[in-house]
Structure 1
């Protein structure tokens, strides 16, 4: 994407304003397995530290791993890479949020699947105000 696109879009990476702020005020602290880069503001006397992420690809908050999410929100001060425990056997790899895409979950009866659902079975009685 060219400079013109960066002026007006935010959904496919950092805008020019964010890139300028990052270059001027940011200190790179780490990168996760997906290529997202994490920054914090350079220390200044009397100011609270700011933390942010520059996504590698589309801006989707579900792409931030839990350990980096905790760091972004100030749950701990150390960079997560220095605090990570070994991976558990039951931990699953990241899967992107499929909402709004062709691969999104659509239950039986959803309009995208024809809008037909199974008839109610005999264990259901509708409420009636007369009874």
Structure 2
């Protein structure tokens, strides 16, 4: 952990819009394939740890404790990047995921319950003849 990493985390904390309960959602995405893996919650301390330790740390709302992905399962998330959305109320954490991201043992938390929405079509782009 470097002083620059700590200073960067502290500076970024001032821009994050946490919920009334002091949490911010963190979307976890595989850095190279861009596959969305999971969503977890972070408070200020979990964010600091994620920013300075190179591993993703979450706040468990059900257990009321910190948990670092992979400490018990071996399915570690190594931080590759962290971005704050335009509203400052959601984090995007890009990671190198080792093993399954979901607690059910699957690669992603978003592959088990595919819904059937009505889909839309993008209008065809009109091009001028040159």
Question: When the two structures are superposed, what TM-score results if normalisation uses the length of structure 1?
Answer: 0.24
Higher strand share: 2
Larger Rg: 1
Structure-2-length-normalised TM-score: 0.24
